[in-house]
Amino acid sequence: MRKTILLTCLLPVLLASAVPVYAASLTLKITQWVEDAYPIAVVPFGYEGVKRPSQDIAEIITNDLLRSGKFNPLPVTDMLNRPSNEADIEFKNWRILGSESLVIGKVQHTGGDNYKVMFWLFDVFKTKQLDAQSFNTTGTALRATAHKIADLVYEKLLGQPGAFSTLISYVTANGTGEKKEYILWKADSDGENPQEILKSNYAIMSPSWSPDGESIAYASLEEAGAQKVFIQKWRKGQRSIVSTVKPGLNGAPSWSPDGKFLAFTIIKDGNSDIYRLDLNSKQLKQLSNHYAIDTEPVWTPDGQWIVFTSDRSGRPQLYKTTVNGESVKRLTFEGTENARAAISPDGKSIAMVHKRDGQDKIALMDMDGGNLIVLTDGHFDESPSFAPNGSMIIYATSEGQQGTLATVSTDGRFRQSLAYQGDVREPAWSPLNVK
Partner 1 sequence: MKVMTKISLAIVPAMMLVLGGCSSGDVKETPASGSATADSRSIVPPPPAEMAPAGTESAQPDPMAERNKMDDPGSLLSQRMVYFDFDSSVIKDEAIPVVRAHAEHLSANNSKVFTLEGHCDERGTREYNIALGERRADAVRRMLVANGVAERQIKIVSYGEERPAQLGHNETAWAANRRAVFAY
Answer for which of 339, 364, 365, 394 binds partner 1 (CB under 8 A) is 339
Using CA atoms, how far residue 137 sits from 60, 114, 234, in Å, is 16, 6, 24
Does 238 interact with partner 1 (rule: CB under 8 A)?
A: yes
Which residue lies nearer to partner 1 by CB, 161 or 191?
191
User: How far from chain centre, in Å, is Cα 237?
Assistant: 21
Q: How far is the CB of 4 from partner 1 (least distance, A)?
A: 21
What is the distance between the alpha carbons of residues 74 and 287, in angstroms, rounded to a whole number?
Answer: 52
Longest CA–CA span in the chain (Å) reads 74
Count residues contacting partner 1 (CB under 8 A)?
Answer: 76
Q: Give the three-state DSSP class for 281.
A: coil
- Fill in the per-residue mask, 366 to 385: x = in contact with partner 1 (CB under 8 A), - = not in contact: -------------xx-xx--
What is the distance between the alpha carbons of residues 263 and 267, in angstroms, rounded to a whole number?
Answer: 13
Subset of residues 280 to 309 that bind partner 1, contact rule: CB under 8 A = 293, 295-296, 309
Which residue lies nearer to partner 1 by CB, 159 or 177?
177
**Long-range contacts of range 109-118, CB-CB < 8 Å, 24 or more positions apart?**
109/47, 109/48, 109/49, 109/50, 109/51, 109/52, 109/53, 110/49, 110/136, 113/138, 113/139, 113/140, 114/138, 115/49, 115/53, 115/139, 115/142, 117/45, 117/57, 117/142, 117/145, 117/146, 117/149
Q: How far is the CB of 76 from partner 1 (least distance, A)?
A: 25
Q: How far is the CB of 24 from partner 1 (least distance, A)?
A: 5
Kindly indicate which of the ranges 54-62, 160-168, 170-178, 427-435 contains the residues binding partner 1, using the contact rule CB under 8 A: 170-178
Q: How far is the CB of 295 from partner 1 (least distance, A)?
A: 5
Q: List, as one string, the DSSP characters of 13-80.
A: PPP--SS--S--SPEEEE----TTSEEEEEPPPEEESSSPPSS-HHHHHHHHHHHTTSEEEPPGGG-S
Does 54 interact with partner 1 (rule: CB under 8 A)?
A: no
Q: List, as one string, the DSSP characters of 115-140.
A: EEEEEEEEETTTTEEEEEEEEEEEGG
Does 177 interact with partner 1 (rule: CB under 8 A)?
A: yes
Answer for which of 241, 278, 282, 348 binds partner 1 (CB under 8 A) is 241
Answer for which of 102, 141, 298, 353 binds partner 1 (CB under 8 A) is 353
Beta bridge partners of 326: none
362 close to 352: Cβ distance less than 8 angstroms? yes
Subset of residues 204 to 233 that bind partner 1, contact rule: CB under 8 A = 205-206, 219, 221-227, 232-233
Answer for which of 123, 311, 366, 411 binds partner 1 (CB under 8 A) is 311
Does 395 interact with partner 1 (rule: CB under 8 A)?
A: no
Subset of residues 126 to 155 that bind partner 1, contact rule: CB under 8 A = 140
Which residue lies nearer to partner 1 by CB, 43 or 197?
197
Which residue lies nearer to partner 1 by CB, 21 or 245?
21
Answer for which of 78, 136, 237, 346 binds partner 1 (CB under 8 A) is 237
Q: How far is the CB of 144 from partner 1 (least distance, A)?
A: 13
What is the distance between the alpha carbons of residues 142 and 114, in angstroms, rounded to a whole number?
Answer: 10
Does 201 interact with partner 1 (rule: CB under 8 A)?
A: yes
Q: How far is the CB of 26 from partner 1 (least distance, A)?
A: 11
